[in-house]
Structure 1
Amino acid sequence: MNSRKPQDIVREEEAQLDFSRSMSYGDYLQLDTILAAQHPRSPDHNEMLFIVQHQTSELWLKLMLHELRAANAAIAGDELGAAFKMLARVSRIMEQLVHAWDVLATMTPTEYSAIRPYLGNSSGFQSAQYRCLEFALGNKNATMLQPHAHHPQRLAAVQQAFEAPSLYDEALRLLARRGLPVPATHVDRDWRQPYAESADVEQAWLMVYRDPKRYWDLYELGEELTDLEDAFRLWRFRHVTTVERIIGFKRGTGGTGGVSYLRKMLDVVLFPEIWRLRTDL
């Protein structure tokens, strides 16, 4: 039989709701800081959507970079199980970002035109985290360091990603360590240079794909990389269609060609031999 008095139960319940002496949900997530970071510059209602869309994308980018750096280290350390989990998570994040474009697409051209004059030259093209992502995935271009030259801290982060081996570089080094015939030019090179497709690298991957039982973890690595690039392509494509829907073929606020620039990015292939081998299997 419960001998506690009703008033004692009430006091206990009230004590459980008192977070003055312990960390609360808002404290842990620093929600006061995050939710106070939206500062529309125009009087237009729709600018809040534009700001939140891009701020949340930057948070997802932060998580993707966190996972990719750890995956790179895991591949370098032959810890492929851990790397697979991280790469799968990055692919799922990219799927999340694909659907995020659906929300921004609710902004009409008229609504965007009302806020565009207040954006100045700011553009997603200038995202340091996105540039780090591109570099981490192997799309190296020294020209893309320049948009960050005005901010030393961001430049340092982008420079570090630019100079480091990409995810694909580490994958090829792993294949070489496993005795597969990856040419020396692709095992030890200037990581700042754009990746050069190689028939010899394709032959190494073909050995893996023709004998998956023998090379099961490398075969799985190839498929994780395929999933990742597949998701990245969808994200890029949805970006292009959303931009075209909202601004047509106007130049971007950051000075790029807008849709024409984004369409050129659709032609970039990050892991070319893994895609090419499917024809030759």
Structure 2
Amino acid sequence: MSQCPYNPAREGAQMSFQDRMSYVDYLQLDTILSAQTPLSDSHDEMLFIIQHQTSELWMRLALHEMEACRQALSQDRLRPAFKMLSRIARIFEQLNSAWDVLRTMTPSDYQSFRPSLGQSSGFQSAQYRLIEYAVGNRNLAMLGPHAHRPDLMAALEAELAKPSLYDEALRALARMGLPVPQDILTRDLRSPWVEDPRIEAVWCEVYRNPDRWWEAYELAEKLVDFEDYFRRWRFNHVTTVERVIGFRRGTGGTEGVSYLRRMLEVELFPELWRMRSTL
């Protein structure tokens, strides 16, 4: 016995969008899906473009969450901040998974379109630079690749004028009554964070008395969780680059793998890691 094909309209599904906003309209998919323009005939260039474009979209969301998280911390709304930090960690877990797809590209695949990249490189990602500045890794030398774009420089300079995520966390600790030194609270925000044993002592106090300092304790673990995923993302980046190009110099002129390995040594919240050895 034959059956009529299923028709969602019979159950009330909207099927006509002549004068209505559709899914494609809302997400501006015509713009997004027409933004892939390979410059070579290589099959694998599409993978390279989409992997990096989607990573930039996830970083866009990470920045959105970081800004809201800092605002929440500055207003002592710790629970919303915890949720945002958890989401940021999950975003970097998603970014990590993207390397698995890119690693299906062999050295031969990459060399088939690498000349088309010119000197463009992920090293020049303004959003990644904003993330680094937002979490406290404020290396002013890294403004250089963006100097040709006044709009990007303005965004980066605006970020450097704000307290970093770690600065806001430490300010929140001080308002809780923990002994964060005043010179830390009033430090030059443009300067990169420098590990301080006094801050390690503050975190030690939190971990030795978690019942007394429970919100600070949870904040610490959320920060560590984020940095854990961030470190994994950096490590997978190094591994992927070495697998695809070995130790060749990067398209942007960096030393490639050697440069990325040095970035693995950068700690965002060093006292939270050092404290674990001294508790």
Instruction: Kindly provide the amino acid, as one letter, of the partner of residue 89 in structure 1.
Output: R
SS across alignment from 2:17: coil
Deviations 1:145-192 (A, max 9, x none): 111010111111122222321100111111111221111221111111
Q: Following the alignment from structure 1 to structure 2, what is the Cα–Cα distance between the partners of residues 233 and 185?
A: 29
Kindly tell me: are residues 215 and 12 of structure 1, through their superposed partners in 2, closer, same or farther at Cα, counting changes over 3 Å? Answer: same
Q: Following the alignment from structure 2 to structure 1, what is the Cα–Cα distance between the partners of residues 215 and 81?
A: 11
- Residue number in structure 2 paired with 1:39: 37
14-23 or 98-107: which moved more? 14-23
Q: 1:53 aligns with which of 51, 56, 80?
A: 51
Residues 203 and 272 of structure 2 are in contact (CA less than 8 Å); yes or no, is this contact kept in structure 1?
A: yes
- Residue number in structure 1 paired with 2:129: 131
Residues 9 and 15 of structure 2 are in contact (CA less than 8 Å); yes or no, is this contact kept in structure 1?
A: no
- Is 2:243 the partner of 1:245? yes
Q: Following the alignment from structure 2 to structure 1, what is the Cα–Cα distance between the partners of residues 218 and 161?
A: 27
- Residues matched between the structures, number: 273
> CA shift at 1:43, angstroms?
0.7
Q: 1:218 aligns with which of 200, 216, 219?
A: 216
Kindly tell me: are residues 111 and 170 of structure 1, through their superposed partners in 2, closer, same or farther at Cα, counting changes over 3 Å? Answer: same
Instruction: Kindly provide the amino acid, as one letter, of the partner of residue 24 in structure 1.
Output: S
Q: Following the alignment from structure 2 to structure 1, what is the Cα–Cα distance between the partners of residues 9 and 33?
A: 32
- Residue number in structure 1 paired with 2:145: 147
> CA shift at 1:13, angstroms?
7.0
Instruction: Kindly provide the amino acid, as one letter, of the partner of residue 84 in structure 1.
Output: F
- Residue number in structure 2 paired with 1:4: none
Unaligned runs of 5+ in 1: 1-8
- Give runs of aligned pairs for residues 44-83 of structure 1, distance below 5 A: 44-83=42-81
- Give runs of aligned pairs for residues 1-281 of structure 1, distance below 5 A: 16-281=14-279
Q: Following the alignment from structure 2 to structure 1, what is the Cα–Cα distance between the partners of residues 200 and 79?
A: 23
Q: Following the alignment from structure 1 to structure 2, what is the Cα–Cα distance between the partners of residues 124 and 253?
A: 9
Deviations 1:95-145 (A, max 9, x none): 111110000000100110111100011000000000000111111111111
Identity %: 61
Kindly tell me: are residues 210 and 123 of structure 1, through their superposed partners in 2, closer, same or farther at Cα, counting changes over 3 Å? Answer: same
Deviations 1:30-75 (A, max 9, x none): 0000000000000111100000000000000000000000001100
Q: Following the alignment from structure 1 to structure 2, what is the Cα–Cα distance between the partners of residues 11 and 163?
A: 54
Q: Following the alignment from structure 1 to structure 2, what is the Cα–Cα distance between the partners of residues 64 and 137?
A: 11
Q: Following the alignment from structure 1 to structure 2, what is the Cα–Cα distance between the partners of residues 162 and 261?
A: 23
Q: Following the alignment from structure 1 to structure 2, what is the Cα–Cα distance between the partners of residues 245 and 12?
A: 53
> CA shift at 1:21, angstroms?
1.5
Give the structure-2-normalised TM-score.
0.95
> CA shift at 1:16, angstroms?
2.4
